Structure 1
Amino acid sequence: MSYVVTENCIKCKFMDCVEVCPVDCFYAGENFLVINPDECIDCGVCEPECPAEAIFPDSDNRSTPWIEINAKFSAQWPNITRKGEQPADAEEWKDKPNKAELLSENPHKD
């Protein structure tokens, strides 16, 4: 079992979750984070840290469409171990519905 980052992270990318992860299993895209399911130890410390409430256990139905996306991009994007700067308009995007089509497949760039 692992945790999964879902749609509400898109264009928010707060990264509070990254700071608390004991196994550094987060990977960063241009406007989204993912969790590597093979590295996640199911500790759950990231879930309450997410201001966008975008992280759920993979057993939660809200995670189902995002499990494959997390696995795919965690193999392509760079690992992130420290909280970076969130997008300037993150609060404006928080809780907006139907953001899936806005997911960028580009990796995070420093």
Structure 2
Amino acid sequence: MAYVIALPCVDVKDRSCVDECPVDCIYEGRRALYVHPDECVDCGACEPVCPVEAIRFEGDVPAEWGDHTASNADFFAGLGSPGGAAALGAVDDDSPLVRGLAKEVNPV
């Protein structure tokens, strides 16, 4: 199990969670942030700092955001496990789910 960043993050990407993550497992895509499911240690530090409440424990993701659990994993299908987001930097891509969403789902 891991934490998941869901729909409210798309087109917002506040990054408070990135600063809070002690293991550097929150990666930046073009339109959203993603938690690497194999690198996350389930500490929960990211969840309370998210201003849009987009971060949930995998088992607690609301049904209307359910596809975002798979979306987080899908983002890493081609990346594998880079071993830390800071060294990789922003990725100029998103998961197929996020790529398919209408532009500015959550305009800031």
TM-score in same-fold range (> 0.5): yes
Partner of residue 80, structure 1: 85
Q: How far off is 1:31 after superposition?
A: 1.3
What corresponds to 2:31 in structure 1? 31
Q: Which residue of 2 aligns with 1:66?
A: 68
Q: CA RMSD in A?
A: 2.4
Query: 1:8: how far off?
Result: 0.3
Partner of 1:96: none
Secondary structure, aligned partner of 1:71? helix
Q: How many residues align?
A: 87
Name the residue aligned to 2:21: 21
Shift of residue 76, structure 1, vs aligned partner: 4.2
> Percent identity between the aligned chains?
42
Q: Does the 8 Å CA contact 2:61/2:69 hold for their aligned counterparts?
A: no
Partner of 1:97: none
Q: Which residue of 2 aligns with 1:10?
A: 10
Task: Assess if the C-alpha contact under 8 Å between 2:4 and 2:61 holds in 1.
Answer: no
Letter in 1 for 2:70: E
Unaligned runs of 5+ in 1: 82-99, 104-110
> Which runs of at least 4 in structure 1 moved beyond 2 Å after TM superposition?
74-81
TM-score (normalizing by structure 1): 0.68
Runs of at least 5 residues in structure 2 that lack an aligned partner in the other structure = 87-99, 104-108
